[in-house]
Each structure stands twice: as structure tokens, then as C-alpha cells.
Amino acid sequence: MSVDLAGARVLVTGGAGFVGSWLCERLLDEGATVWAVDSFMTGSPDKVAHLVRRPGFTLVEADVSETIPDPGGVTHVMHLACPASPVHYLRLPLETLRVASNGTVNALELAERHGARLVLASTSEVYGDPLEHPQRESYWGNVNPIGPRSVYDEGKRFAEATTMAFHRERGVDVGIARIFNTYGPRMSVDDGRVVPTFLHQALQGKPLTVAGDGSQTRSLCWVEDTVDGLVRLACSNEVGPVNLGNDAETTMLELAETVVHLTGSRSSIEHVALPQDDPKVRRPDISHARRTLGWVPTMTAEEGLKRTVRWMEELLAG
């Protein structure tokens, strides 16, 4: 499918976050005017500092749970705002629920006012600890609704339900993306997700902390591949949900060993307690994205990890 965003006016909530910063950059490259809205609760102006001087880019500090500044003439709303790592959403449970509920309503109402297309960045966490493997979009999930992770899991499920209600009842043009584990430069080093955690530990010569026996799996997707899927969804008529993730699966023990090898570290591997409700497996079925968006991830895990290693080496050196 073709991607044409030249002249588009796009508001990105969570635009100073990890994925949001890469999305803003891609949108500018496509010729769009971009407003990045972020509370900096977990995002940072540093992630988009290289974009501030680019024509067509505006960074606005605002809590989308309260209000979203309306720049006028918006053609697309990309709703990415939400704490996305366990460290952050477990520290900010009520804020996570508010942005998933109030923030999503505010984003949808903005899109409705302008007749804009809204893309919701949902998550593979809506599948919980899945009993179906790999996970298809038709799978309803296995989520603990009162566990500590539920503020994120159920928050995103609520966001999806709200998005579909606005679509059905008010005719808002929407697309829902379920994003699987994404990695790459600009991740927060201390956000608790597995790739930056392992890399940071390895580069500092500390033991790599593998939860449980390390047999649990994840499917890691390079950030620019994820962003390409979001852009394609924004340019389509697809409602979704659509899985966006790499279907190459690895165990956490295998990933730890790969990181030690790629960094040349002498770090050992240390097993720690498995977090409550931690999914045992995670791998997307991406046939729907391939069919409707013409999307497949292209970055190999080895090359993506090498690029992320180089970025973190430079970050730590600086």
C-alpha cells in the first residue's frame, strides 16, 4: 500500500516518548506537520531535541488526561500517550488508568471535531498471559483484572473499547494497533524493559537478571519497523485491531546470552523471581498486518541489537 502524508497535520500524544519520538521523526520525513504533545511524566524533551529546529515540528507540554491543546486543522491523531514499561505503570497506576480512559476520550473527541483519523497505540498486553500461541487479533486474552499489571492491561482494553464505541456510535475514523515488544535507541535505560536492562547490565559488567528460569519468550521488534506499521495504519482504512510485532520468538535466557556475546561482556547470568502475571509466551500472528497493510518487519534481531548496543555505549560514555 502507498504511504502519503505530505501536507498532513498530525497530533501525536506521547510524542516525546520512545516510540513517539521515532514516529514524529518519520512523520516529518513524510512531509507532515507534527504537534507532539507530552506531559513528560515518562517521556522527555531530550528524545525529540533533534527535531525541535525542524520546520513543521512543535512540542507542547500538556497532560492529555486533562486536555489536549487543539492546533486546528488536524488530519490525524496518533494516540501513544501512556506509561508503557512495568517500572513506570506500576509506579504510576492511577495516572496510567487516567491516560488510558480520559486521555483516550480526549483524543477521540479531538479527532471527531476535525473529522480526523485516530490511530490508537494499544498493546500485546491485552492478551495477558495468553492461552493461544501465537496470538491472533481474534483472541480475547487471559488478563488478571485485579493484578498489579491490570492498570496497563485493562487500561488498554478499555481504550480499545472506547475507540470502537466512538467509531460505531459517532462515526469516528479509527485504527487500532496492538504493539508487541519494541526496542531500539531512545529507550529509557532504567525503564525496566528487557533489552535496555540487559544491555545496561552487560555494558557495566553486572550480572544479567533473568526472571524465572528464562524460558519465557518475547518477540522483539525494531522501533522503525513498528513505526512503519503505525504510519501504514494511519494511511489505510483498516479499523483493526492489527498486531504490529516481529514474529521471531526468543527466550529471555537466549536473549541474555546474545547480549553478553554482542557486547563482549564478562557478565554472568543471575536468575531472579518471576514477576506476578508475567506472560510466559508472546509472539504475534502478523498475517492480518501483512494482508491489509503490506507490512512486515525487516530488521534482523542481531543487527537491531548491534545498533542499540552502539547507541547505549555512546549514551553511557557521554
* Spatial contact of 177 and 19, defined as CB atoms under 8 Å apart: no
- The count of residues in the chain is 318
One of 89, 127, 139, 152 is an active-site residue; which one?
152
**What angle in degrees, to the nearest 10, is found between the helix axes of 252-263 and 194-203?**
40
Distances (CA, A) of 227 to 113, 130, 186, 281: 26, 25, 14, 23
106: cell is 480526549
Distances (CA, A) of 292 to 2, 76, 181, 253, 286: 12, 19, 21, 34, 10
Nearest 5°: the CA angle 205, 250, 159 is: 100
How far is C-alpha 48 from the chain's CA centre?
Answer: 16
291: cell is 494482508
Helices (H), 135-275: 150-170, 194-203, 223-234, 252-263
- Work out whether strand 57-61 and strand 33-38 pair parallel, antiparallel, or are unpaired: parallel
Choose among 78, 13, 50, 40: nearest CA to 232: 78
Mark whether 152 is an active-site residue: yes
Burial 266-279 (b: 16+ CB within 10 A, else e): ebebeeeeeeebeb
Which residues are marked as active site? 152
